[in-house]
Amino acid sequence: MAPILSNQWIAKRRPHWDRLSVLLSRSDRDGLGSLSRAELQEMALLYRQVAADLSVLRRDETARTYSDNVNQLLARAHHIVYSRQKTTWLTLFRFLKDEYPVIFRRQLPYVTASLVVTIAWAVLGAALTSARPEFMRHFVGPAMIATMEQHKMWTDSIVSVAPKETSHIMTNNLSVSFLAFAAGITFGVGTFFLLFNNGMMLGVIAAACHQYSMSIPLWSFIAPHGSLELPAIIIAGGAGFRVGHAMLFPGGYRWKESVAKGGIEATQLVAGVIPMLVVAGCLEGFFSPSHAPVWLKFTVGALLFSLLMTWLFKRPGTKEEVKE
């Protein structure tokens, strides 16, 4: 691939990278208190400028060395800049609107790995249940099986206790997601096991409901909240794999630095699933088990999933002009 960045552009931006490196070195050597208020403000400004530079560098495969160096520089500066930034609703909104989609796409290989693991085990669970129906008893309790035999959804009871059940659902979904993330500390093995369990359970239940001619009630129940809940768990699994990868393959970093960097990036990735799970919990408690028309449930699910994909893969324009 021919280079798209000119030497002139790199020479123009390099002083900003060098200045940020100088400020970080002083902070590491003498402590953060050694920097004046003006220098701290300068560091915050440089951080944003260098972050914009990184997005440009990543568009040029021939600038990989520069991209890696600048990325390491930003990783060092991140905790300093954001530890001093007061969190407000506006900063959270900006994070979700502008920063999180970039973070998500940067960690997309790990999210993809999480998706592949989940789908693989779901397909296996569905295949085993279809071939040997008694296999479902390893994952589905007698009460649920008895309900399916009566061609009833086990979720019907949620409607009568929706407010209380919604709180329980949110707590459970958040716990599962953060466990998938935190389990990455086991070199990713714990994350893999949790995704195995979730995928297998989904496949088994899908096949079991198909055998009892309850596929439409099942998927119309899952569609509204599952359009957010399932991607959230998969993203959290990707965060767990990011931690595991950092522990197993430090690359050019020292092991401790690799784990720290992986932990920061994984934490940023999993932070975005919180609002997704809050919305999913409300839908699962109030709307999904309701007697709303099936077409409406599928429509809501499709709309939410479309909005989710639009958000995650939104590509904001860069202010930096790339010279030929």
Tell me the per-residue pLDDT of 81-112, one tens digit each, with 9 for 90 and over: 766 555 567 777 888 888 899 999 999 999 99
Predicted local distance difference test score (pLDDT) of residue 320: 38
How much is the pLDDT for 85? 53
Predicted pLDDT of residue 143: 80
State pTM to two decimals: 0.71
Helical H segments across 159-293, by residue range: 162-182, 189-211, 215-248, 255-271, 273-282
User: pLDDT value at position 130?
Assistant: 92
Q: Is residue 66 within 8 Å of 16, Cβ to Cβ?
A: no
Every domain of the chain and the residues it spans: 7-85, 106-312
pLDDT of the residue at 4: 58
Closest CA to 243 of 218, 269, 220: 269
Between the CA of residue 156 and those of 45, 114, 192, 221, 301, what are the distances in Å?
54, 31, 32, 10, 19
- Count other C-beta atoms under 10 Å from residue 137's C-beta: 13
- Rounded Cα distance between 35 and 282, Å, is 46
Q: What is the pLDDT of residue 118?
A: 96
Tell me, what's the pLDDT at 172? 76
Across the chain, which has 324 residues, the per-10-residue mean pLDDT values are: 66 88 86 79 85 81 81 82 64 83 94 97 95 87 81 63 57 85 94 94 92 90 93 96 94 82 91 92 86 94 96 65 35
Residue with tokens 């958000």: 311
Tokens 């919604």, residue located: 166
**Alpha-carbon distances, residue 307 vs 95, 247, 271, 295, 319 (angstroms):** 17, 34, 18, 18, 25
The angle, 0 to 180 degrees and rounded to 10, between the axes of the packed helices 162-182 and 255-271 is 160
